[in-house]
A and B are shown apart, each in its own frame.
Chain A
């Protein structure tokens, strides 16, 4: 299988990775369209609801956090070949039948090219303020992930799900996504991030060591061998900075490279099964 190269568009990280105001609508769209024109394999975004309090204190104005999936839906009508990643959707903040319906709709409209990323959410306060799901974030994520899978991929037009933290029944979930199964990448650097029957994926934190990546890949393949994951694929989201000219190692040109390191520390990475 050929290796794949995707890019991240700057949604939801204004104030964290990008200065305020940076990620305005007229900044996002050209970047997304450029990425598409250049033929990258996928285009991703972030899914934060609020900035962390310590970041807010440094900002002169409120950061504009655009929704990743919404941003991508704006560019999909023009899309040609790039699979649109939804970003890592924070499941405990979502109502599952509604999310399943949204994802199915987007997959239909994009011609069956959606990659669904799901996770617990990096910022505890954001989740606490917005979540309709009680319980621990990890538990809620596991439950909602299975629930999302059920809503998206159950062959029944009226699937039902009864989990520890979430449940639904008698909700019309039709049409289904065009893809069966829908690629679902589970995010987070907790060891159990990809350990769910519903997931086809695993993510871990940006800036992972090669050894950690190798361990994650082995975990994913082990899960695939046990039938808990349906596809074998590994993704890693990482900061990339290409310099114009050779730099002097040993600190002579450290700052441009340091910028890449800063980006990797606040970004997420994806391992997908």
Chain B
């Protein structure tokens, strides 16, 4: 319950600012913002509440190829 209350204090904007989380399209958009800031490499950390293998599979399929097609400033 306490965790739920804490989660309620976290806005979507906050998550969007500090993490890459959401649908593949949302994740790609978040990564594009960092590329625009000048980043040319990202190291993804998978949260513990998910299947790390499944997340790696999805990142390898849906994020990494798109990230590599971006160009940083």
A contact set with B: CB distance below 8 Å? 1-8, 10, 17-19, 22, 30-31, 34-35, 38-42, 44, 85, 206-211, 213-214, 217-218, 233-243, 245-247, 249-251, 254-265, 267, 269-272
A-contacting residues of B (Cβ < 8 Å)? 4, 7-8, 10, 12, 14-15, 17-24, 27, 33-50, 52-53, 55-60, 62-64, 67-72
A-chain residues with CB within 8 Å of residue B33 when the two chains form the complex: 210
**B56 with A38: CB separation less than 8 A:** yes
Which of B38, B48, B67, B72 meets A18, CB within 8 Å? B48
> Closest A-chain residue to B17, C-beta based?
A209
Contact of A263 among B19, B38, B58 (CB under 8 A): B19
Q: A238-B42, A240-B20 are in contact. Are A254 and B8 (CB under 8 A)?
A: yes
Taken together as a complex, chains A and B put the C-alpha atoms of A85 and B19 apart, in Å, by 22
Q: A233 contacts which chain B residues (CB < 8 A)?
A: 40-41
Residue contact A234 to B39, C-beta cutoff 8 Å: yes
Q: In the complex, what residue of chain A is closest to B6 when comparing beta carbons?
A: A258
Please, how many angstroms separate the alpha-carbon atoms of A4 and B43 in the complex? 8
The docked-state distance in angstroms from the alpha carbon of A174 to that of B57 is 40
Contacts of A263 in B (CB 8 A): 19, 45-48
Q: In the complex the two chains form, is A254's CB within 8 Å of B68's CB?
A: no
Closest to A220 in B: B38
Contact pick for A238, options B19, B35, B53, CB 8 Å: B19
Which residues of A are found within 8 Å of B62, using beta-carbon distances? 242
Q: Which residue of B lies closest to A254 (CB)?
A: B7
Q: How far is the CA of A265 from the CA of B17 in the complex (A)?
A: 12
Q: Is the CB of B60 within 8 A of A240?
A: no
> Which B residue's beta carbon lies closest to that of A271?
B39
Q: How far is it, in angstroms, between the C-alpha of A261 and the C-alpha of B23 when the chains are bound?
A: 15
8 interchain residue pairs of minimum CB distance: A217-B38, A38-B60, A260-B21, A4-B41, A207-B18, A259-B47, A240-B44, A237-B43
Q: Which residue of A lies closest to B4 (CB)?
A: A255
CA of A34 to CA of B61, assembled, Å: 13
Q: For B24, what are the chain A residues with a Cβ–Cβ distance below 8 Å?
A: 242
Residues of A within 8 A of B70 (CB): 3
Starting from the known contacts A1-B40, A249-B12, 16 additional A-B residue pairs (CB-CB under 8 Å) come to A6-B42, A7-B56, A22-B48, A39-B64, A40-B59, A40-B60, A41-B41, A233-B40, A234-B39, A239-B47, A240-B27, A242-B63, A245-B23, A254-B15, A255-B4, A258-B15
